Amino acid sequence: MGEQQQVKFPQEVIDEYAALGVDLPALFSAGHLGTRMGVQILEASAERVVGTMPVEGNTQPYGLLHGGASAVLAETLGSVGSMLHGGVSKIAVGVDLNCTHHRGVRSGLVTGVATPVHRGRSTATYEIVITDEADKRVCTARLTCLLRDVRPGDGEQTAN
């Protein structure tokens, strides 16, 4: 599903996580599910997260992009933004995801852009707009993440 691209983070953010033993770009290469679906995170900050996903391999029986695939892309991008907003002392956990599917897509690449709606101390909400290659809106999603304190052992799976 294509060559893996490096996630773009501000260098100071990479350095902050590296001091804790966490390889941030590797952590947010989209995870196991995102990797299987071909999700690529191209740009990431608390203000804006951009990622792509191929339609091929992520379709429903009628040959259209599966709504669940759009949800995976949306939750991945919104979670990255929430995590970056929360900082190294917080973990972002999705608690609510709403997706409205506007049009079907049969081929190509879709692009999602997540921008914050609310960034608080205990929750973060992002709007994620997914478009096709013609820049037509395919899906609009909203994700709210709980920002909880890091607990011992939280990073054990991600630090390697």
pLDDT in tens, 4-22: 556 677 788 888 888 877 7
| Domain presence at residue 25 | yes
Is 5 contained in some domain? no
Query: CA torsion 37→76→140→86, rounded to 10°?
Result: -170
> One of 75, 127, 133, 156 is an active-site residue; which one?
75
Answer yes or no: is 143 within a domain: yes
Residue 84: inside a domain: yes
The pLDDT assigned to 154 comes to 65
**Residue 67: other Cβ atoms inside 10 A:** 15
For residue 10, the model assigns a pLDDT of 76
Nearest one of 23, 124, 140, 138 to 83, comparing CA atoms? 124
* 156 pLDDT more than 60: no
Domain that holds residue 67: 11-149
Does 88 fall in a domain? Answer: yes
Residues with Cβ within 8 Å of 32's Cβ and at least 6 positions away in sequence, in order, are: none
Q: What are the pLDDT digits (tens) for 27-74?
A: 666 668 888 899 999 999 999 999 999 999 999 999 999 999 999 999
How do residues 91-102 score in pLDDT, each as one tens digit?
A: 899 999 999 999
Domain count within the chain = 1
Identify whether 75 is a catalytic site residue: yes
User: What's the gap between Cα 32 and its chain centre?
Assistant: 13
Supply the CATH number for residue 51's domain: 3.10.129.10
Asked if the structure places residue 93 within a domain, the reply is: yes
In a domain, 3, yes or no: no
